[in-house]
Amino acid sequence: MAETEEAQTGVPIISTTAILADKQNQIYEHEHDTTLQGAVPIIDSKDVNGSEVLKDDFNDAAVIDDNISSRPEAPSLHDSAVETSKDNVKHDATIDAEHTATSSLPDNAEPQTGILGDLYAGQYLKDPSSHASASAELPVEHGSLPTNDATSQVEDTSSSNNVSAGLTIPASVVDIPTQHAEADLAHGERQRSIYDDQEPMDAEAAAQYDLPDQFADEQDLEVDDNDENDSTMGGDTESLTTSLSSSIYHYRKEHGRTYHAYKDGKYIFPNDEREASRLDLQHHLFRMTFNQQLYFAPVTPRHALDIGTGTGIWAIDLADLLPECQVVGIDLSPGQPTMVPPNLKFIVDDAEDLWLYQDKFDLIHARLMAGSIADWPKFYRQAYDNLEPGGWLEIQDYGLPVRSTDGTHEGTDIHRWGVLLCEASAKMGRPMGSDACDLYAQQMRDAGFVDIQERMFMWPSNTWPRDPFMKELGKWNMINCLDGLEGFCLALFTRALGWRKEEVDVFVANITRDFKDRRIHAYFPMPFFRLPPALAGFVISCLFMIPTADAQYPRPVTYNNTLKSPINPAVTISYKVPDPGTCMTAFPTQKQYSGYITLPPYTLAPIQQNYTINTFFWFFESRQVPESSPLTLWMNGGPGSSSMTGLFEEMGPCEVVQMSDGTYGTQSRVWGWDRISNMLFFDQPNQVGFSFDTATNASYDFYAGEIIEPPTGPTTLPPYMYMNGTFGTANVNDPTTTTANTTEIAASATWHFLQSWLAAFPQYNPATRPNITSSQVPAAAAGVHLFTESYGGKYGPTFATHFEEQNQKRLNGSLPYNSTLEIQLESVGIINGLVDDAIQDPAYPEFAWNNTYGIQAINEVDYLNSRSYFAGAGQCSDQINACRMAMNTTDPGGDGDVSATNALCESAQISCLNVSSPYIKSGRSVYDIRQKLPTPNPPSAYQEYLNNETVLSSIGAQVNYSQSNPYVQQAFISTGDTIRGGLSQDLAYLVSIGIRVGLIYGDADYICNWYGGEAISLQVASLLPATIPMTSTTDPSAIVFTPPDYATAFPAAGYAGVVVNESYVGGDVRQFGNLSFTRVFDAGHLVPYYQAEAAFVIFSRIVQGTDISTGEAKNLSTWATTGTQNSTRTNTVPPTPSTTCWVRDWNNTCTPDDTEAMLAGKGLVMHGIWYPDDDSVTLPSSSVAAGVPGNPMPTSGSLSSAGQDGGSSTMELTGVFTATGTPKPSNSKGAATGLRAPVESWRLAPLGVLVGAFLLGGTLLF
């Protein structure tokens, strides 16, 4: 119990205090909804424009001598732990891709699924009783229009919202006596029209959300997950306020950051774009905390003032919410947008000067002003004088320094940081943290305010809490804090404490390490910590009320074969033959093997691999002549997504179906790629899927997507959302300790895996097996073929290039020839891959704005802003270039062991999320633009099947199955792996040495859309060297033939239709020589799932080296397709099938209402599916037949393809189609709409990430 308690209490908390002060004694009945309204986006695009999200927490103050010689000791430049932690805080991030269900996020502060597809982050629920005004999407989406397509927006800066999220913030309200009771009563009635449903939750209601009672009273203040930079610079400013002359924009520049010019030095935090983005993220965090409410005060204001408006996001939200309210925002910096609601204006003004506004206000709002005001009593007096009778003042602020209940903060840099911040701000004459906040209430009383109310809120420093809501707050707070950390320290420490910038940089690195360390149980001291009885009761229940969790431990495994690798005796190969029926193949004669190849520590030397790698594989023979068939390697993406997704959801020999009793079995797949090839599926890098380092008993929290060691009960979660089982080591604090953190390292591990696999199964190695030929296998196909998708756009080029480099080292003697094997690569296929962000990111706004489905997912302002986020000065493109320059100089091998380069690339990666962020608020799936969330495709039945103990035993799995691993994703994010580049060059190299490269893109996918894929194909062609003329063998001076250059011939090749069968054209292809780009009609991110037959046809033609349009044999040295220069086919959006709420994939497949009911323990769960009641349970008919381990179903030479690709005829299970003509496009056999229809209802629906998909916690790129 003590251990549990320590884990529960040990973490830095940022306390938030909200203070409301009314100007009169009249007491209003304050009603506000405290339920969690809306979905928390997976990755907020606004969060980090720049660095690795450095936020702040503030600490206490100590008296310090003004003498510089006695300044606090700065850290030595030689201090240890300067290296940035590789544990990623952004995208648990980055980044599973949720969306905001209640209000559109700010244009540049959007939760993002951007680059890293796995939208994994938690989703919060709407209270069914919440009032529409509090949860409805804001009607106006604002954003500053760029002056041209590539320019960046007007810099949105902030001077007040300086506190990093993560601090507990006091919220106070002060009351003033009124002389107009009648008017106040009228205001009260208007107020009720907006806040009618916003009454505090009682303890019973709060329990439904597993939230402390504290939040029943305090969880409803300003939280904006919507518009971010929608503010205007005011037009008619007061005569005595500063006009927006150009001189105001001459910002002070210091240490690479900019600061306000007007009243230079009064605000000591930056006002640049990076800080503006953080402030918008921070606003989103406030709205999450306050249940989407913008303010607490029980008033519907007619005139409102926002002091220290920063980017203007709070003022914009208020103006949108209350169109009849005249809103004024003031700030020292003119960084607000120019396109704003007509009832809003911004003024450059100093809140410490005399207030001379034309109108008095009903509401004055100030957020995080501690450290910015020198004379708080004067401030409160002016606020009092400028309020209407009955008006309200609302302050939100923070406290410092950090403390802990168990002493773990003592001696840490995170604690020292807070102390120094308070000391420095005191020297500057503008106290911050508890030095300021503790005096607020009395200072308000002294100014004449009455009815002062104080509410407290918690912001955990990271994801340490077990409570799902607090964990989500902690995640966003960590991002917020880390992103602002440098800005909080630079000016204060250099100006007030006399530090050098280099000393600050070292200290920031050390604080960052502490901030990510969940073992430091620090919190930010605020009145919040004098807990009310309700909160104390909640904490106690978390600690001691531990329900029993379901357990699914794998059985002990016995393998048919355990042997030492013929290549490396230190490597162990353990495998078995799965029981018949485990994965039904077309023919019972097809052999299959599953198991592990174990690489001991330091196998990858000189790479620092001090952990064991147990790589899981599952091999299937081809349906015909496996002894001479090609070998296809399949990898899913992520990073962190299991290749079992491809096996069971896309193109493997079998698929999972539900039987009449509700359990699951398998059927053979008509268009499985084993139709022509031997297939090897493997989970990589280490810790993904069934792969692991050390089998460890632990708990898996489906809601948070986290592994908890040792196994515990589900605390406040229903037992079916919390499973005890066996997994690899979680390594929450540093995921890089047991897995790869760059694609280059993953490539090395995979090469070593393949060396031993090919040595153990020489009969399937095209480079070493006997010279067996078959008329059914073209010579061009008899090799190794690497196919992948999504983040595989990084894996494919890197892995293939590494394999070729190793082949060359064998030949030149750099590697021992006799103890290594050639990997005879013939082709590389990439399905909807993210290859190069610099080339593909510009396609995000284009595809969202103008696609062949006629779906306009974003408005024009979002479109222009999104383009600006990529091309604007200091934005995504510039940061990508900076990352790549640093990498080429300091880490050309891509090992991810240079902390400064890692931080630079990680910052670029997060910044680039802004480009795709506007799409997220559309509520559409990033994997299929045709679908609104939750998505119905594909189903998650296979995850339930693979965690069945008989299946685990049958395949020799030593750990439980999980579709995606957030810790692996965090490891890759920590090095900025996706940004590092060089992959287009790798693909060009592969083409140049004769390897076929096929790029395949479903045209409904957004996250890796075909516009970007087409751009990659053209980029690769442009990088290929000029061709060398072919000369006569008898006369070297006589040129026989000069092949055309790819750079000119590939773009010149026209688009030809991909003839899938006699009646269906399934896509368009541009092909020249060994390079091809194919657009697949009506297919989302996982192309083989949506268009199985078309995907197989394209795959087979790439493997066999034929014309991808028809399948005919061609001389690829000269072959080019003919047709139109552009693929212009338009699509029809089909009806969306109904969804199914899968518990293991709740964040992608369940509605907010479903999730809310689940967390409250309502409804029932059967076979992994949540149903609201017994009447909702539906099972397939008794006619559904499937195989299970030990009990296969009968097979034949044909199979009904009902429900697949729209066809319903009986199909042969072998053979490849070759077209003799081009049929007219139709929706007949094979021409599916791309959405799996209800005819397949027994196959169930929904999918799971960000993360099996890429981007980013619950969502990766598959």
Helix (H) or strand (E) holding 204: helix 203-207
Is residue 138 within 8 Å of residue 104, measured between CB atoms?
yes
- How many angstroms separate the CA atoms of 49 and 1142, rounded? 34
Task: Assess whether pLDDT exceeds 90 at residue 1071.
Answer: yes
| Residue 974: active-site member | no
Most confident of 149-158, 519-528, 883-892: 883-892
Spatial CB neighbours of 207, under 8 Å, sequence gap ≥ 6 = none
- The pLDDT of residue 33 is above 50: no
How many alpha carbons fall within 13 Å on the CB side of residue 803? Answer: 27
pLDDT at 251: 55
pLDDT of res. 1067: 97
Report percent pLDDT > 90 for the chain.
44
Mean per-residue pLDDT, 308-323: 93
Active site residue 790: yes
pLDDT class of 763 with cuts at 50, 70, 90: very high
Distance (Å, whole) CA 843 – CA 1193? 47
State yes or no: is 1085 an active-site residue: yes
Supply φ then ψ for residue 152, to 5 degrees.
-85, 160
- What pLDDT shows up at residue 117? 28
- CA 292/CA 131 separation, integer angstroms: 11
Task: Tell me phi and psi for residue 37, to 5 degrees.
Answer: -100, 130
Q: By the 8 A CB rule, do 943 and 908 touch?
A: no
Distance CA 491, CA 504 (A): 10
Render pLDDT for 971-1024 as a digit per residue (tens, 0 to 9). Answer: 999 999 999 989 999 999 999 999 999 999 999 999 999 999 999 999 999 999
Write the DSSP symbol of residue 492: I
Active-site pick, 160, 622, 790, 899: 790
Mean per-residue pLDDT, 834-863: 96
Residues whose CB falls within 8 Å of the CB of residue 888, separated by 6 or more in sequence, listed in order: none
Q: Averaged over 575-580, what is the pLDDT? A: 96
Cα 62 from Cα 1219, distance rounded (Å) = 81
Tokens standing for 1242?
A: 């027994």
The top-scoring range by mean pLDDT among 184-198, 266-280, 316-330, 536-550 is 316-330
Q: Is 80 exceeded by the pLDDT of residue 154?
A: no
Return the number of other C-beta atoms located less than 10 Å from residue 356's C-beta: 11
In a domain, 949, yes or no: no
How many domains does the chain contain in total? 1
Of 316-325, 525-534, 616-625, give the lowest mean pLDDT range: 525-534
What is residue 192's predicted lDDT score, i.e. its pLDDT?
28
Q: Which range, 158-167, 278-287, 344-353, is most confident?
A: 344-353
CA-based nearest residue to 200, from 366, 331, 440, 34: 34
Confidence of residue 734 (pLDDT cuts 50, 70, 90): confident
Pick 87 or 1163 by higher pLDDT: 1163
With cut-offs at 50, 70 and 90, classify the pLDDT of residue 91. Answer: very low
Cβ(943)–Cβ(961) under 8 Å?
yes
Cβ neighbour number for residue 4 with a 10 Å cutoff:
16
User: Is the model's pLDDT at 67 over the cut of 60?
Assistant: no
Does a structural domain hold residue 277?
yes
Residue 198 lies in a domain: yes
Within a 10 A sphere around the Cβ of 769, how many other Cβ atoms?
16
Residue 312 CA, chain-centre distance (Å), reads 26
Gap between the Cα atoms of 211 and 468, Å rounded: 9
Which region, left, alpha or beta, applies to residue 390 given φ > 0 means left and ψ of -120 to 50 means alpha? left
Considering the domain boundaries, does residue 206 fall inside one? yes
How far apart CA 1073 and CA 1047 sit, in angstroms, is 12
Single out the catalytic residue among 677, 1085, 1127, 1205.
1085
Residue 413 lies in a domain: yes
Please tell me the distance from the alpha carbon of residue 559 to that of residue 1131, in angstroms, as a whole number.
50
The average pLDDT across 308-332 equals 93
Separation between Cα atoms, residue 213 and residue 791, nearest integer Å: 42
In this structure, are strands 1064-1072 and 1075-1080 parallel, antiparallel, or unpaired? antiparallel
Of the residues 230, 891, 1005, 1107, only one is catalytic, namely 1005
The top-scoring range by mean pLDDT among 184-188, 955-959, 1181-1185 is 955-959
Length of the chain in residues, anyone? 1262
Q: 109-118, 216-225, 869-878 — which one is most confidently predicted on average?
A: 869-878
Return the amino acid letter for 1037: S
* Assigned domain for 174 exists: yes
Burial of residue 238, with CB atoms counted within 10 A of its CB: 0-12 exposed, 13-18 middle, 19 or more buried: middle
Q: What is the pLDDT of residue 11?
A: 32
| Residues 861, 1250: Cα–Cα separation, whole Å | 27
For strands 1164-1166 and 252-254, give the pairing: unpaired
DSSP state of 1180: -
Q: Which amino acid is at 832?
A: N
> Structure tokens of 540?
């106690």
What confidence score (pLDDT) does residue 736 get? 73
Count other C-beta atoms under 10 Å from residue 67's C-beta: 8
Nearest C-alpha neighbor of 972 from the set 165, 118, 275, 54:
118
Segments forming the whole domain that contains residue 436: 2-38+54-64+133-542
CA distances from 629 to 232, 779, 911, 1197 (A): 66, 10, 45, 19
Tell me how far apart the terminal alpha carbons of the chain are, to the nearest angstrom.
39
Whole-angstrom distance, CA of residue 453 vs CA of residue 434: 18
The pLDDT of residue 720 is above 80: yes
**Is the per-residue pLDDT at 713 higher than 90?**
no
What 3-state DSSP class applies to 797? helix
| Three-class DSSP category at 285 | helix
If you search the block for the tokens 């082949």, which residue do you land on?
807
Average pLDDT in the chain: 74
Q: From the CA atom positions of the chain, what is the Rg in Å?
A: 31
Closest CA to 134 of 108, 103, 157, 95: 103
Q: Is residue 407 part of a domain?
A: yes
What span, in angstroms and rounded, lies between the C-alpha atoms of 57 and 789?
A: 40
How far apart are alpha carbons 157 and 253 in whole angstroms?
Answer: 14
**Which region among 160-164, 543-547, 1178-1182 has the lowest average model confidence (pLDDT)?**
543-547
Sign (positive or negative) of CA dihedral 85, 86, 88, 94: positive
User: Domain for residue 89, yes or no?
Assistant: no
More confident residue, 250 or 211: 250
Residue with tokens 């900076």: 882
- Look at residue 318 and tell me whether its pLDDT is greater than 60: yes
**What residue spans of 368-467 are helical by DSSP H?**
376-385, 413-427, 434-437, 440-447
CA distance 601 to 580: 35
**Do 983 and 700 meet the contact criterion of CB atoms below 8 Å apart?**
no
Per residue in 1086-1129, pLDDT (tens digit) is 999 999 999 999 999 999 999 999 999 998 888 899 999 999 99
Residue 934 CA to residue 525 CA, distance in Å, equals 40
For the chain, percent of residues with pLDDT exceeding 70: 69
CA pseudo-torsion sign 975, 979, 985, 991: positive
